[in-house]
Amino acid sequence: MMKNVRLTAAAENLAVLAPNKGSTASEPQFSRFQAPDSGNFSAPVGREESEEETIHSADVIVKLKLFPSSECRLTSRVLRQLGMLYTTLVSFWSGDDWIPGGLSEPLFNAKGTSGAPSVMKAQILAGGRALTISRPDEAFENASNMLGYSLVTKQTPPDGLPVNKLYIYKSVDIAQEFYVAITFDRARYKPVLLMSDDGGVNIESNVNQLQRFWFNLSTGITPEIAAYIEAQFGFSDDDMGMVTHILRQLVKLFREKDATLLELNPFVRTTEGSLICIDAKFNFDDSAKFRQPELVSLVEHSAEEKDEYEASQLGLSYIRLDGNIGVIVNGAGLAMATNDLVTLYGGNCANFLDIGGGATKETLSKAFSILQGDSRTKALFINIYGGEY
């Protein structure tokens, strides 16, 4: 079995790379790279935009399960609408870039990805996935270590998430990092703009330094709020014009797209004086999907999420868990109590599956078919409450 390995010291935010499940003792060690099963990868996405519309990225993570190719297209369009500068994508990689025995170094270099300095990002729905490339020879080595393997960070499940796509971006010289976010303040029942002049990875340890600016969705960022931001953060008049425009466009996006979080981190001032978005995270309200057909059309589902998607199409609530006991229950409250009971007596549930209050033979049959397709399930526990009155 291949051992977990740690990347180079440059990967400060990157935790552990672990082999994908299914690896055997006969497979090569991590120093030699075995191409993963092509079935693990989605179809490659080419660079579909014109040269004038080259795919750019703030590397948006969208909670509507928008996967990297869709994210990148969404990001480039949204950030253009915001009138914002952003880091430029150098190269895109998917599972189809593998050849028997590993990644092709000539192909890798031919795509112009060996330059440095640059930033390499595994395209998974979690943070802590960026790796700085300071020397040209590091690019191919680290790409081989990432693509086709599972990445474990503080935000992933214990087994990590498979890295099937990889982006490489041009790095920028940063003079100062800012944190900018719009979300809801549930205590005050109104949206709030969060800002800090100590953005990037430091923001999690400096939450108390966040400045909060509450606003009304109908009026957005007023001149009074903009003036206070300028005074707090010392933006020049020229910079403040751009900052105000971006903030107002973010408010518009927040309102029109039913967002729950729009986060730019870091939003930086370069050594040349430009304001650039390096990274971003956009969350949208799942309950508002019926109003956002454009966002829903971008949804792509990983192999691990296909059961959840299938169940939702059938009107069932299904969540994949880590155990081996399949559970079918009617009613969310009863389902949670059942899962707790199984755990209390030493079991480990493979799923949360609520077929709803109106259980019928048809819904039960659908639930059975989903669980039968899960090779981890060794037993079924069915707890259906019903009767006549």
Q: Which domains does the chain have, with CATH numbers?
A: 174-277 (3.30.470.20), 303-383 (3.40.50.261)
pLDDT at 53: 29
Q: Which residue has the higher pLDDT, 222 or 5?
A: 222
Q: Is the pLDDT of residue 181 over 70?
A: yes
Q: Is the pLDDT of residue 289 over 60?
A: yes
Selected catalytic residue, list 86, 263, 308, 318: 263
Q: Which residue has the higher pLDDT, 264 or 147?
A: 264
pLDDT at 300: 61
Cβ atoms 159, 152 nearer than 8 A: yes
Q: What mean pLDDT, rounded, does the chain reach?
A: 70
pLDDT at 302: 58
Q: Is the pLDDT of residue 66 over 50?
A: no
Which two three-digit tokens encode residue 264?
């730019």
Selected catalytic residue, list 86, 149, 179, 318: 179
Region 261-290: what's the mean pLDDT? 84
Q: How confident is the model at residue 340 (pLDDT cuts 50, 70, 90)?
A: very high
pLDDT at 224: 94
305 counts as catalytic: no
Cα Rg, the chain, nearest whole Å: 23
pLDDT at 35: 29
Region 47-76: what's the mean pLDDT? 37
pLDDT at 342: 92
Give the DSSP letter string of 193-254: EEEESS-GGGGGG-GGG-EEEE--TTT-S-HHHHHHHHHHHT--HHHHHHHHHHHHHHHHHH
Q: Is the pLDDT of residue 184 over 90?
A: yes
**Eight-state DSSP code of residue 288:** G
199-209 core/surface letters (b: 16 or more CB in 10 A; e: else): bbeebeeeeee
pLDDT at 110: 53
pLDDT at 162: 80
Q: Is the pLDDT of residue 315 over 60?
A: yes
Cα 373 to Cα 376: distance, rounded to the nearest angstrom: 9
Q: Which residue has the higher pLDDT, 322 or 106?
A: 322
Q: Is the pLDDT of residue 7 over 90?
A: no
- Residues 6+ away with beta carbon under 8 Å from 289: 64, 295, 296
Which range (45-49, 145-149, 262-266) has the least confidence? Answer: 45-49
Number of neighbouring beta carbons within 10 Å of residue 106: 8
pLDDT at 118: 75
Q: Is the pLDDT of residue 33 over 70?
A: no
Residues 91/154/10/131 CA torsion (nearest 10 deg): 0
Which candidate, 167, 184, 178, places its Cα nearest to that of 71? 167
Q: Which residue has the higher pLDDT, 169 or 382?
A: 382
Q: Which residue has the higher pLDDT, 188 or 150?
A: 188
Q: Is the pLDDT of residue 46 over 60?
A: no
Which candidate, 24, 15, 14, places its Cα nearest to that of 2? 24
Q: How confident is the model at residue 123 (pLDDT cuts 50, 70, 90)?
A: confident
pLDDT at 179: 92
Lay out the sheet containing 165-170: strands in order across.
89-94, 165-170, 118-122, 130-133
Which range (3-12, 160-169, 293-302, 320-329) has the least confidence? Answer: 3-12
Q: Is the pLDDT of residue 126 over 80?
A: no
Which range (239-243, 290-294, 301-305) has the least confidence? Answer: 301-305
Q: Is the pLDDT of residue 99 over 80?
A: no
Which range (95-104, 163-172, 242-251, 353-362) has the least confidence? Answer: 95-104
263 counts as catalytic: yes
Please give the single-letter amino acid code of residue 67.
F
Cα 57 to Cα 278: distance, rounded to the nearest angstrom: 8
Region 225-242: what's the mean pLDDT? 90
